[in-house]
Structure 1
Amino acid sequence: MVPVPISIIIPTFNEEAGIADSMKGLLGLVREAQDIEIIVSDASSDRTPEILAGFPVRVCRSAKGRAVQMNTGARHTKGSILYFLHADTLPPATFLGDIRRAVSEGRRAGCFRMRFDDENPLMNLFGWFTQFPLPVCRGGDQSLFIERSLFEEIGGFNEAMQIMEDYDMVRRIEAHTPVHILETEVTTSARKFQQNGIIPLQINFAAIHLMHALGFDQESLKRYYRENIR
């Protein structure tokens, strides 16, 4: 049986410090894989595209903004399944099989559970909560797979959103189908927590969720993020 084609889409912005390691890690997982492609949607002003030129991935230039970049990347793909992955997140070794199995079972969209690359007990606790089907437990770091037909039906990511675009995407997907949570875990960088402090950053993330729920506009959310999170 021919595997379901999967397109991996990675948005990047000034990732020169870590993109080589990220690519090596991902390519190590897909070296023997069939029917996959890796599209990097890049908005960098640093050496990220030069570094990416040394890897077997396709780079497309995009305007800055994660929603815009993910939509731009999607337009350059061919796969029937789109898999959106952050540059500092590594999927589990079994991720292609996990996604294909879920799709064969009728799951039109889904994400992985998540762990951080930091064994701090609080970080482990935050990762543990990602197994639950609660909106507040969803985030882009968990990555997202979605059937192309559903992605196109709901209009892709909302490019008017510069903050909470992943949360908004999940909400719109769930108007059509549940977002399935796979049992395996992606591993994502804890650098923001290390830079900002674990509790202060989590409080700021909670504040942004609350502001969004209360109807604050994108400019207010962006300003709060810029003033409080490094």
Structure 2
Amino acid sequence: MQTRVSIVIPTLNEANSLERTLRHLALLHPPAAEIIVVDGGSEDETVAIAEAVAVSGCMPPGTQLHLLETEQRGRSLQMNFGAEAATGDILCFLHADTWVPDDLVKVMSHTLEDAQIACGGFVCLLAGPQTTRWGISLHHYLKTYYAPLLFRPRLFFKGLRLLFGDQVMFCRRQDFWECGGFDPALPIMEDGDLCLKLVQKGRICMVNRVVQTSDRRVAHWGSLKATAIYSYIGFLWGLGVSATYLKKFYADIR
């Protein structure tokens, strides 16, 4: 019996990215069982786009596209809300500005066939209309390894890797809820926190496949400033600084 995958997409004013993301998901082979868009009160055309795609008939047979709207704004809250509605065996958390390979479902299912793996993610390549951010993408990849080695060495050798939302995190639904899901109190670094909890269930796996995500933060800040902000937030979080404090350095960019 084929493993059922639920893809959860938290959105807030993602009109510039969401339609492209959903069109990519319509090409998945094998298809996902369901795609759940969880909107936290968008003031642009995000909701209308999701509704239009849902009735367009572009999704393959067997894939349900659901739109959930909630007043609980924030990625942790929205992703938990979507996970509560999900029925799949595997939960995949996808940002609205990230695009995945068409064999996504197969890769995730195959990865989690290994009972010793609790969570997985992909190599993330930041790119925009004019350029690919090779340097920052490489740093994000290396940070997955050096950050847990530096700040949580005991857990690193137990299998901890520090994944981020842009890397399309996925795990078993049962493991997700047994670990308590995303911490609803965290406005940032909820992905790293989930890794710390899931490593108690098994290894965190970096899949040797690429997903592409928008470089809009880097384009807005510039490469040097973006690298400094990413490094600063990661370093302070590793030292235990409050995520609420760190959020002020990580403004929303659309």
TM normalised by structure 2 equals 0.81
SS at match of 1:54: helix
Q: Runs of 5+ in structure 2 lacking a partner?
A: 55-64, 149-160
Q: Which residue in 2 is equivalent to 1:25?
A: 24
How far did residue 133 of structure 1 move? 7.5
Partner Cα separation in structure 1 for residue 133 and residue 228 of structure 2: 17
SS at match of 1:141: helix
**Alignment length (residue pairs):** 225
Q: Which residue in 2 is equivalent to 1:165?
A: 190
Q: In 2 relative to 1, CA 225–104 (structure 1 residues): closer, same or farther, beyond 3 Å?
A: closer
How far did residue 8 of structure 1 move? 0.4
Partner Cα separation in structure 2 for residue 95 and residue 216 of structure 1: 35
Q: Does 1:61 align with 2:74?
A: no
Q: Which residue in 1 is equivalent to 2:62?
A: none
Q: In 2 relative to 1, CA 110–134 (structure 1 residues): closer, same or farther, beyond 3 Å?
A: farther
Q: Does 1:122 align with 2:153?
A: no
- What stretches of structure 1 move > 3 A for 4+ residues in a row? 130-137
Note the aligned Cα RMSD (angstroms). Answer: 2.1
Contact conserved, 1:114 with 1:130, CA < 8 A, in 2?
Answer: no
SS at match of 2:26: helix
Q: Does 1:80 align with 2:105?
A: no
Q: Does 1:8 align with 2:7?
A: yes
How far did residue 9 of structure 1 move? 0.4
How far did residue 132 of structure 1 move? 4.2
How far did residue 151 of structure 1 move? 0.6
SS at match of 1:149: helix
1:53 partner letter:
E
How far did residue 93 of structure 1 move? 2.1
How far did residue 213 of structure 1 move? 2.8
How far did residue 74 of structure 1 move? 0.4
Contact conserved, 1:129 with 1:137, CA < 8 A, in 2?
Answer: no
Partner Cα separation in structure 1 for residue 45 and residue 114 of structure 2: 41
Q: Does 1:200 align with 2:197?
A: no
Q: In 2 relative to 1, CA 133–122 (structure 1 residues): closer, same or farther, beyond 3 Å?
A: closer
SS at match of 2:207: strand
1:122 partner letter:
G
Q: Which residue in 2 is equivalent to 1:38?
A: 35
TM normalised by structure 1 equals 0.89
Larger deviation: 215-224 or 88-97? 215-224
How far did residue 78 of structure 1 move? 0.5
How far did residue 129 of structure 1 move? 2.8
Partner Cα separation in structure 2 for residue 148 and residue 137 of structure 1: 19
